[in-house]
Each structure stands twice: as structure tokens, then as C-alpha cells.
């Protein structure tokens, strides 16, 4: 049985990926496919960037996400 290692992405890679969606108009699924990453990962990066721009703290984002999961 092979152990799957977690890939790590640089901050620069993440910024470029988010820019594809927010700046260049790619759909999240299309950008993720082109970058060979999972759609949910790119969605999370985009949400985190939006939160930073809106001044949402990590604690506030965690509370919001927990509330969404309860629904």
C-alpha cells in the first residue's frame, strides 16, 4: 500500500490560481482542471482571498463555515 503525500503549493501559485478565477474570468472548475488541482481547493483559496479583502478574520470565517455545515 502506498502512502499518498500531501502536495504543498507556494503562495505565488495560489495567487496565480486565484487570479485566473477573479482576474481572468475562468470558472473555478476550468481553472482547477488546467492547474491539475481539486476544484474545492481552488474554491477555498478564492474564498480565503475574498475574506482577506473584506477584512474577515480567521475566527469569523471559521464560525461562518461551522454555521454553514450545521445547515
3-state SS class at 3: coil
pLDDT, tens digit (0-9, with 9 covering 90-100), for 13-29? 999 999 999 999 999 99
pLDDT, tens digit (0-9, with 9 covering 90-100), for 37-47? 999 999 999 99
- The 3-class secondary structure across 19-44, one letter per residue, is HHHHCCCCCHHHHHHHHCCCHHHHHH
User: Which pTM value belongs to this model?
Assistant: 0.76
Amino acid at each position: 500500500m502506498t502512502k499518498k503525500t500531501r502536495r504543498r503549493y507556494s503562495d505565488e501559485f495560489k495567487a496565480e490560481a486565484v487570479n485566473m478565477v477573479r482576474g481572468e474570468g475562468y470558472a473555478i472548475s476550468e481553472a482547477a482542471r488546467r492547474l491539475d488541482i481539486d476544484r474545492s481547493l481552488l474554491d477555498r483559496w478564492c474564498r480565503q482571498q475574498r475574506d482577506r479583502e473584506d477584512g474577515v478574520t480567521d475566527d469569523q470565517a471559521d464560525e461562518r463555515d461551522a454555521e454553514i455545515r450545521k445547515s
